[in-house]
Structure 1
Amino acid sequence: MTRKLLCSVLAAAMIATAFTGCGGGASASSGAASQTASGTASTSTSKSKSLTVHVGTEPDSIDPDLNTAVDGGIYIQHCFEGLTKLDKDGKIVNGQAKDIKVSDDGLTYNVTLRDDIKWQDGKTVTAQDFVYAWQRCVDPKTASEYSYMFDPVKNGTDIYTGKNKDVTSLGIKATDDTHLVITLNAPCAYFEQLLSRPMFYPLRKDIVDGNDKWTQDPKTYIGNGAYKMTAWNHKESIVDEKSDTYYNKDAVTIDNIKFMLMDDDSAIQAAYQSGALQFADTYPVSEQTKWAQTKDYHAMAQLGTYYVAFNCQKAPFNNQKVREALSLAIDRNYIINTITKQGQTPADAFVSLGIGDADTSKDFRTVGGGFYSVKDDDYDSNVAKAKQLLSEAGYPDGKGFPSFEYSFNTNSTHKAVAEALQNMWKEELGINCTLAAQEWAVFIDSRQKGNYDIARDGWLADYIDPISYLDTFISGSGNNDPHWSNKDYDALIAKAKSTGDQTVRMQAMHDAEKLLMQDSAVAPIYFYTDVYLQNTNISGIVTTSLGDKLFTYATVS
């Protein structure tokens, strides 16, 4: 999700409350994601069963195993379904599974599939379709950046890291067409949340194997979900129609969804104002005050973090003191109060607010505390320390520090934040940086390959647990954009994943986050909020704190 939760635009990342409830208002919880089925009322008066919406730009991939973006996850979620799913209230319920029985020790899941589940070409969904899909995701040949999501499953880690060459040894077996046995390494409190995520969806071997283009053609993009993709007009739109083969089609209230693929937030705003869009996840940051006063405006807490990623493999950012200096010189309060102005919380750590600790009445963030002060009154002392660190790194008053590039994907908010950072680093530390706005696909590719100096980054949790944030930075993770590596960190994450003792695993995650922050691999700026525009005559859109946007149960009056 994060569902990776990186979005094509800032507000797109914000809309997804996925791919999770944070940033100041959500209660500490390890249960279902916070959600709303929102709607008030506005311009349209005719009854309709169609929606035209914007949740992101042209997706890099809509392959459930290869997508890493929130918007891509939204497209996929409408066409596919896992053993569990989100219902109209945003809660995790059985999806393709009729029954899930968990052994007393929490290690074995016996799953019975529904007897009325079909692919969109009419073929029956079988247990083997899940086995194939899971094995494909962990197979190193697939190169899924989300293969690590299978760490809880027996042999999952060893398979995707190449230690175990036998993908069939993954802890999922089909005993017949309708029964699965799933074996875990340790009890996993959030496992049924995982089962609702795209990388755990079933796939058709006869369609996917040997066909790298299967997602590009509606004829071969065969899912098992509520909607069938009928058109993909690249860089323009994706069109979904209600599936006649979906077992719960009578509960699906929207017949057609048109996802507009746009990256110009001014054009998105204009389309929304004209009525061409009924839902928009972004608009120019300069228009925030105006929209916040309308009934179309929606904002809620979200589990996610907007941050700066340092390329830890590239000088001078391979120096911890340099990274910490640049982080401390960021005036986080200025950014959220003057630029974004959407109720974000300044981030003093990586894991956001809104996730329970071992004692579920307490918040993981509150228990762990912050790693630097984000109080407005402490900014001057932060800058003083930053100057000292930069001097200790060999760059007194910024002298001799090489000019570097800050990369971000094209969007007015990202640009405004980038310009603020550029000015802060120049004014406070005496160092120069240039700005590079990049098209989404180019930006993602450059960041993943390490072809950058410093870059905008963002993460939205895939499920409600601190590990969804922290396992992002294990060595070799496809989502580890800083390309940071720490063996002690890896060991702590492995420890957290190998025990069902919540006290032990939470402490391991606190210790891991401490290593991440003390090494300044990233510079968190703020915890996300979910902000979007929704026509006031629409209701029933499901938004969760994990970034999900489900239009399946919406109504238009």
Structure 2
Amino acid sequence: MKRKRLKKIISLVIVATLSAMIFVGCGDSKKESGEDEQVLTYNLGADSKTLDPALNSSVDGGIVLSNAFEGLCRTDENDKAIEGGAESWTISDDQLTYTFKLREDAKWSNGDSVTAEDYEYAWKRVLNPETAAEYAYQMYYIKGAEAYNTGSGSVDDVGVKAIDDYTLEVQLESPTTYFLELTAFPCYFPVNKKVVEADPDWATKVDTYVSNGPFELTDWKLKDSLVFEKNQDYYDKDKVKLDKLIMKMVTDETSASASYKSGDFDMIDVVPISEIETGLADGSYTKFPNLGTYYLSINVTGENESDDVNKALQNEKVRKALSLAIDRDSIVKNITKGGEIPAYSFVPEGIPGADGNDFASKEYFKTSGNIDEAKKLLEEAGYKDGEGFPTITLLYNQEGAHGDIMQAIADMWKKNLGINVSLAQQEWKVFQTTRTDKNYNIARDGWLGDYVDPMTFLDLFTSTSSLNNSGFSNSEYDSLISEAKAETDSAKRDEILHKAEDILMDDMSIIPIYYYSQVKGIKSYVKDVRVSALGFVYFDRAYIDGK
């Protein structure tokens, strides 16, 4: 650069920088070439508890991870596995050994090559008992994984091995038809072994947040925003059209909606309930399918603070009475208003069974409730008309409209059963820990499928699942889940899983409320964002056109 031009250039740079600061939130900044810079501002609506693939268990964190990282496979518009970090794979005749051939041009955002050793290290890190990964059970399909994670086996016996830099061999306990889809899930993402071993807090800082997906983290303001830019080391970067992806963390839906309407946000993940009907009608909001169930978890561990509460909630008749006293039809009609379906089972509609029909084919309870039966059960449990029943606390996270739903349920329990309920709310990060630690009476809960199969809902409640928030434990249930995982006959497998759900719904330590739908605000000029029925949002093909 020639010295005589330096002063003029510095002045131009200052002006350009100020302009960029003013317009960054609206996607109006310019590239050096003079072209419009592709910037999309998306309100994630939550401050994720963690951005470590091994430790995350929330959908909001999963959305972030799915745009920053990439597993052996990605998923297509039908949530089926396609090539990702692996360019090909072979499966043995007995369907127990998978051999993945990695892309030799796959790079980390710091320029390092992504190797098979990174995958082996990442998966074994999830399974390491010291990591305390809630999703470790999701890897129990791998030979020796459960034994290692539960302390009865060795890491050397885990069936994951880097054969060479670009070949990964995986051995399974039993044939798993959806294993390829599992490799696209965040807990199966690789991590850069060198970076992680050098700094245990690598996932909390921009400088060490090294990823292998379409976007890399370049700025992070706690409780405000995550800024991602196109990863120039990503092997498929030429198909990534966005230059910058800004994820905001505005938790108040009304505030987020106002920013969306004013044009400060190009997309919002959650919209106010009061605006859904109008927004869907005028096209400002869009509804997407969502494979998931909104439910209540009842702490049945006996670890509630009050002995009276423990006695009540450990009574199966009480739990069934609580469930039957809820009018789910009224909740989705008058409160949520987003096209949700009143739940009549835990496994939601939308998963095909072996016979081609929906797996969710059994109505375990009437969605409108059954007040007479609820009162009868409560009386049989020793609490006629709620007399002597302790005040229970219904806990929920403060973000979103959960408070309205919890208030409605509390009112139904009071009116229909004579039970007094105290409502309590916590910030999302705190709430997740409280619920996992089982420091609650009854808590709001929800689950979105990790893959399209009933197992993603039912193995959640095995005795060893760290995401089993209610503490439900049943040896017959555990045996049925293990049996279903080993069964290769699809019809027999469905039969086994139905038996397992029968046990879960008879125990009623969880109370399904409704099956989710997704309503999001997406401006008309935002193109090719993919919203998965599994809850993830993908921006790797998104772009702005006509803003």
Q: Same fold (TM over 0.5)?
A: yes
* Larger RCO (CA within 8 A; separation ≥ 6): 1
2:282 aligned counterpart, secondary structure = coil
Corresponding position: 1:511 with 2:499: yes
Q: CA deviation at 1:545?
A: 0.7
1:163-178 mapped onto 2 (5 Å cutoff):
163-164=152-153, 166-178=154-166
Distance in 1 separating the partners of 2:48 and 2:486: 34
Partner of 1:158: 147
Partner of 1:363: 358
Instruction: Provide, for residues 272-311 of structure 1, a one-character-per-residue CA deviation record: whole Å limited to 9, x for no partner.
Output: 1111111112232222222222212111221100011111
1:374-393 mapped onto 2 (5 Å cutoff):
374=367, 376=368, 379=369, 382-393=370-381
Which structure has more helix as a fraction of its residues? 2
Partner of 1:312: 300
Distance in 2 separating the partners of 1:331 and 1:197: 35
Identity of matched residues, %: 40
Q: CA deviation at 1:212?
A: 2.9
1:494-509 mapped onto 2 (5 Å cutoff):
494-509=482-497
1:229-268 mapped onto 2 (5 Å cutoff):
229-268=217-256
Partner of 1:476: 464
Corresponding position: 1:372 with 2:368: no
Task: Name the CA shift for 1:511/1:186 in 2 (closer, same or farther; >3 Å).
Answer: same
**Alpha-carbon contact 1:332-1:526 (below 8 Å) kept:** yes
Q: CA deviation at 1:78?
A: 1.1
Instruction: Provide, for residues 156-203 of structure 1, a one-character-per-residue CA deviation record: whole Å limited to 9, x for no partner.
Output: 111111111x11221111111111111111111100100101111111
2:48 aligned counterpart, secondary structure = coil
Distance in 2 separating the partners of 1:89 and 1:436: 39
Corresponding position: 1:409 with 2:384: no
Q: Which runs of 5+ in 1 are unaligned?
A: 1-42
Corresponding position: 1:398 with 2:386: yes
Corresponding position: 1:530 with 2:525: no
Distance in 2 separating the partners of 1:420 and 1:140: 40
**Alpha-carbon contact 2:277-2:338 (below 8 Å) kept:** no
Say which is worse superposed, 330-339 or 492-501, in terms of deviation: 492-501
Distance in 2 separating the partners of 1:443 and 1:216: 20
Distance in 2 separating the partners of 1:120 and 1:520: 47
Which residue of 63, 71, 76 corresponds with 2:60?
A: 71
Instruction: Provide, for residues 197-250 of structure 1, a one-character-per-residue CA deviation record: whole Å limited to 9, x for no partner.
Output: 111111122211263311111111101111110111100000101011100000
Which has more radius of gyration? 2
TM-score by length of 1: 0.89
Corresponding position: 1:49 with 2:38: yes
Corresponding position: 1:520 with 2:520: no
Partner of 2:335: 339
**Alpha-carbon contact 2:293-2:346 (below 8 Å) kept:** yes
Amino acid at match of 1:58: D
Q: CA deviation at 1:87?
A: 4.6
Distance in 2 separating the partners of 1:62 and 1:419: 32
Q: CA deviation at 1:48?
A: 4.6
**Alpha-carbon contact 2:230-2:237 (below 8 Å) kept:** yes
Q: Which runs of 5+ in 2 are unaligned?
A: 1-25, 30-35, 303-309
Q: CA deviation at 1:358?
A: 2.0
Moved over 3 A (4+): 43-48, 87-91
Distance in 1 separating the partners of 2:540 and 2:37: 14
Amino acid at match of 1:53: Y
Count of paired positions: 506
Q: CA-atom RMSD, angstroms?
A: 1.6
Amino acid at match of 2:125: R
**Alpha-carbon contact 1:151-1:497 (below 8 Å) kept:** no
**Alpha-carbon contact 2:276-2:285 (below 8 Å) kept:** no
Q: CA deviation at 1:472?
A: 0.7
**Alpha-carbon contact 1:88-1:553 (below 8 Å) kept:** no
TM-score by length of 2: 0.90
**Alpha-carbon contact 1:418-1:435 (below 8 Å) kept:** yes
Amino acid at match of 1:64: P
Amino acid at match of 1:365: A
Amino acid at match of 1:313: T
Distance in 2 separating the partners of 1:282 and 1:175: 44
**Alpha-carbon contact 1:48-1:556 (below 8 Å) kept:** no
1:422 aligned counterpart, secondary structure = helix
Amino acid at match of 1:99: S
1:455 aligned counterpart, secondary structure = strand
Partner of 2:4: none
**Alpha-carbon contact 1:89-1:542 (below 8 Å) kept:** no
Distance in 2 separating the partners of 1:45 and 1:215: 30
